[in-house]
Structure 1
Amino acid sequence: MKTILLIEDNELIRENTAEILELSGYTVLTAENGKIGVELALGTKPDLVVCDIMMPVLDGYGVLQIFNQNEQLAGVPFIFLTAKTERTDMRRGMELGADDYLTKPFDEAELLSAIRGRLNRFRHLKPDYDLQHPGGLGEFLEDASAVGNLTDLTLDRRPHVLRKKQEVYVEGDEPTRLYFLQAGRVKTVRRTAAGKELITGVYGPGEFLGYLPLLQQTTHDDTAVVLDDATVLYIPREDFTQLLHRNPAVGQQFIRLLAGKVSDREQQLLGMAYNSLRRRVADTLLRMHEEAGATPDSWIQLSRDDMASVVGTAPESLIRTLSEFKQDGLVELTSKGIRILQPAKLRQPNW
């Protein structure tokens, strides 16, 4: 439910307008002058302000200037109310950054239309988006489009079905798009000159891939291969670039969503350099257990060859270590996959 701050010194207008807004489903904070209105806003940040101009103590222009100068309140949509219709007053309000201007008397439809229009235009990104949910990506992109005024952002989102072992992109390719994995799994690999493979990442539903070359403006330094039949959405490079640079808030949110894999890769390489084989296998199992849902019934489904490539060891060494874990009662090994029985013991630091 959106919160509207209504600042109006006329008691009758204030009460009638507040009633209209409350009946329309908004939470309404009311103030009889600008000073009280600013104090209310600092206590509870509103989604939008409807403010009279001519008021005692602190007028509407002063309120808007305080909002603009306060980091917490800057950017909140602001609609002026006034009985004065001189163009100079309207111009001053717009120059200060007002988003709309209503003259009194106004009717209910005019008020609600102005509020809906401002809230839609100034929709903010949420702290988190559930990208595991089928609608999570669409919700994020639609909000990003609204905030960044990028009307074309969500147009090129036709699902592409890719089959097992099909390559999504290849090392050395010029990056042309960002990839969002809607279903299935994809692995990213690097290969040595001798053909030995190191898996640098395993991606599941709700994850992005192929973003680092776009950020670094370089070619792909790995190859992405489909592990299971996958459904992939393509976001064109131009839209991705606009998304990052057109609006700082959108760019920061998107980078935050993408940054986790960079840290994971760094931890993986550090572990391969310094940890024992048992520790590396345990860490890999725990990470995949989390990705599979981290429940007692979660199964890790990855071939022994692929898992060995993630760990950075020979398949024979991996199989031997898994057998030791099974004998210790830490994991269950079946044709269905691997199930973690005692994650707490796998986390023990003394391996």
Structure 2
Amino acid sequence: MKKILLIEDDLIMRENISELIELTGYQVEVAENGMVGVEKTKTFLPDLIICDVMMPELDGYGVLYILSQKPETATIPFIFLTAKTEKEDLRKGMNLGADDYLFKPFESTELITAIESRLKKNDLLKQQYSSGSDGVHEFLNQAKKVVSLKDIKEKSYAFSFSPKEYIYKDGEHVHFVYYIEKGSVKTYRYSDDGKEYITSVYNEGQFFGFQPIFEERTYDEIAESLEATELTKISKEDFLTLVYENREVAQQFMKIISETLSSKEQDLMLMAYSSVRKRVSKKLQELLADEDEITLLRTDLAKLTGTTKESLTRTLTEFKNSKIIKTEGKKIILVDRKKLQKMDLIW
């Protein structure tokens, strides 16, 4: 049975609403003001909160703000009850993260419909999605059902890129968020003396290009495909609608991209503290995760591992002598995956 917390200071209104909700089949807990409501949320852990705006002790905006700061309560669907004379404050509540508004007086069917709608949407977006291609597409399809996108056409577009083809350049305005269906992409900048240095490498199943959208800036690096690559593009407008129009959508998306961010941090830590041998081993394991061979310029691999071309060449020679890999021109062929993994233990 779903649990609903009703926070309302008017006794008659509180009793009438709670009786209606209980008759509909929900478990109800009531609170006579905002302070009590916040405390009861911690112990009752409702599936949905219905809250009056104007109350003594702590008003509805204060309740929503406090609950939004705690991970365990931040995504509980929140419906405000308010008088029509307070309509001008609607934007304030929505900006704080309210999911819906009901203006007093309202019909019983309006309240029940609002409750059922919000609970259904919340259940849809509580699903866990993997960071792989299937998980991402399932997430986008579910998000379309939840978020109001009547005026938005298809959300994603598929594009193919040849090896070493530009995806975007520094200084360009942002139009898309990118998801890698197949292949890999590097992002890089040029130093003052004209040398290229790689900032990140993104592989199949990862998002990239979304940071400038949140920071409202142009790209500050170049993105280029390392091999034949297939990307799904999500338009900037659709991406922002997905993220900002529903808190649960935003939370699910952040869970998916957190793997990308975590991987990037791990690369930086590895580059800072590991030996050349270990860095090369880690990067080869990553690049050869689903393949037995890759084609990559030695200069690019050196940049990816944060070492010089000479040091990389010596390490690859060592790996060849140990019969871990073999090379054919630009091609690196995996011979013994277990031996390559054991190189992680050598500092």
SS in 1 for 2:182: strand
Question: Equivalent residue for 2:317?
Answer: 320
Residue number in structure 2 paired with 1:210: 209
User: Match for residue 176 of structure 2?
Assistant: 178
CA distance in 2, matches of 1:186, 1:126: 30
Contact map agreement 1:179 1:234 (CA 8 A) in 2: yes
Q: 1:345 to 1:317 in 2, by over 3 A?
A: same
Within 5 Å, which residues of 2 pair with 1:18-29? 18-22=22-26, 28-29=27-28
Q: If you compute each CA radius of gyration, which structure gives the higher value, 1 or 2?
A: 1
Who is 1:115 aligned against?
A: 115
Query: Structure 2 length normalisation: TM-score?
Result: 0.62
Q: Indicate conservation of the 8 Å contact 2:21/2:28, yes or no.
A: no
| Distance of 1:262 and 1:187 partners within structure 2 | 13
2:157 paired residue number: 159
Q: Structure 1: any 5+ residue segments left out of the alignment?
A: 23-27, 54-58, 82-88, 293-297
Task: Assess, with a 3 A threshold, how the Cα gap between structure 1 residues 213 and 337 changes in structure 2: closer, same or farther.
Answer: farther
Match of 2:225 in 1: 225
Q: Within 2, Cα distance between the matches of 1:338 and 1:151?
A: 53
The 1:213–1:90 alpha-carbon spacing in structure 2 relative to 1, beyond 3 Å, is: closer
C-alpha contact 2:125 2:252 (8 A) present in aligned 1: no
Structure 2: runs of 5 or more not aligned = 69-73, 94-99
1:239-295 per-residue CA deviation (whole Å, 9 max, x = no partner) reads: 667888899995997597464465356346535xxx543122123245457xx4xxx
User: Are residues 1:281 and 2:285 paired?
Assistant: no
Which range moved further: 304-313 or 334-343?
334-343
The residue that corresponds to 1:61 in the other structure is 55
Amino acid at match of 1:91: T
Contact between 2:3 and 2:48, CA under 8 Å: does it hold in 1?
yes
Q: CA deviation at 1:125?
A: 7.7
CA offset at residue 224 of structure 1? Answer: 1.0
- Return 3-12 or 217-226, whichever deviates more: 3-12
Q: Which digits, 9 at most, give the CA deviation of each residue in 1:155-181, with x for residues without a partner? A: 463422314316142544614323422
Please name the residue that 1:73 is paired with. 67
Contact 1:80 1:100 in 2 (8 A): yes
Judging changes above 3 Å, is the alpha-carbon distance between structure 1 residues 18 and 168 closer, same or farther for their aligned structure 2 residues? farther
The residue that corresponds to 2:96 in the other structure is: none
**2:171·2:220 contact (CA, 8 Å) conserved in 1?**
yes
TM-score (norm 1): 0.61
Cα pair distance change 1:227/1:198, threshold 3 Å: farther
1:185–1:227 contact (8 Å) kept in structure 2: yes
After the TM superposition, which residues 23-102 of structure 1 pair with which residues of structure 2 at under 5 Å, given as runs?
A: 28-31=27-30, 38-50=38-50, 61-62=55-56, 65=59, 68-69=62-63, 71-73=65-67, 77-80=78-81, 91=85, 99-101=101-103
Whole-angstrom distance in 2 between the partners of 1:230 and 1:187: 10
User: For the residues of structure 1 that align with 2:6 and 2:240, how far apart are their CA atoms?
Assistant: 38
Compared CA separation, residues 70 and 316, structure 1 to 2 (3 A): closer
Aligned residue type for 1:169? I
Give the AA of the match of 1:232: T
Letter in 1 for 2:235: I
> Helix, strand or coil: the match of 1:46?
coil
SS at match of 2:114: helix
Residue from 263, 266, 271 that aligns with 2:265: 263
Asked if 1:169 corresponds to 2:163, the answer is: no
Cα RMSD of the aligned pairs, angstroms, is 5.3
SS in 2 for 1:233: strand
Query: Shift in Å at residue 206 of structure 1?
Result: 2.9
Q: Equivalent of 1:303, from 295, 307, 314?
A: 295
Partners of 1:77 and 1:122 within 8 A in 2: no
Measure how far apart 1:232 and its partner are: 2.5
Q: Deviation at 1:37?
A: 5.3
8 A contact 2:174–2:218 mirrored in 1? no
Equivalent position of 1:86 in the other structure: none
Corresponding letter in the other structure for 1:185: G
Contact kept? 1:332, 1:339, Cα under 8 Å: yes
Q: 1:31 to 1:243 in 2, by over 3 A?
A: closer
Q: Are 1:184 and 1:231, in contact at CA under 8 Å, matched by a contact in 2?
A: yes
Give the counterpart of 1:17 among 17, 21, 31. Answer: 21
| Partner of residue 139, structure 1 | 139
Distance in 1 (alpha carbons) for counterparts of 2:36 and 2:322: 65
Equivalent residue, structure 2, for 1:84: none
Percent identical among aligned pairs is 21
Looking at structure 2, the residues matched to 174 and 346 of structure 1 have their Cα atoms a distance apart, in angstroms, of: 41
State the 1:184 CA deviation: 0.5
Which residue identity is paired with 2:78? P
What residue identity is the alignment partner of 2:182? G
Contact kept, 8 Å, 1:179 with 1:209, in 2: the verdict is yes
Q: CA 1:17–1:31 in 2, change beyond 3 Å: closer, same or farther?
A: same
- The AA in structure 2 aligned to 1:303 is T
Distance 1:15 1:251 in 2: 33
**Deviation string, structure 1 residues 49-93 (Cα, Å, up to 9, x no partner):** 346x8xxxxx98348726724644358523549xxxxxxx65369
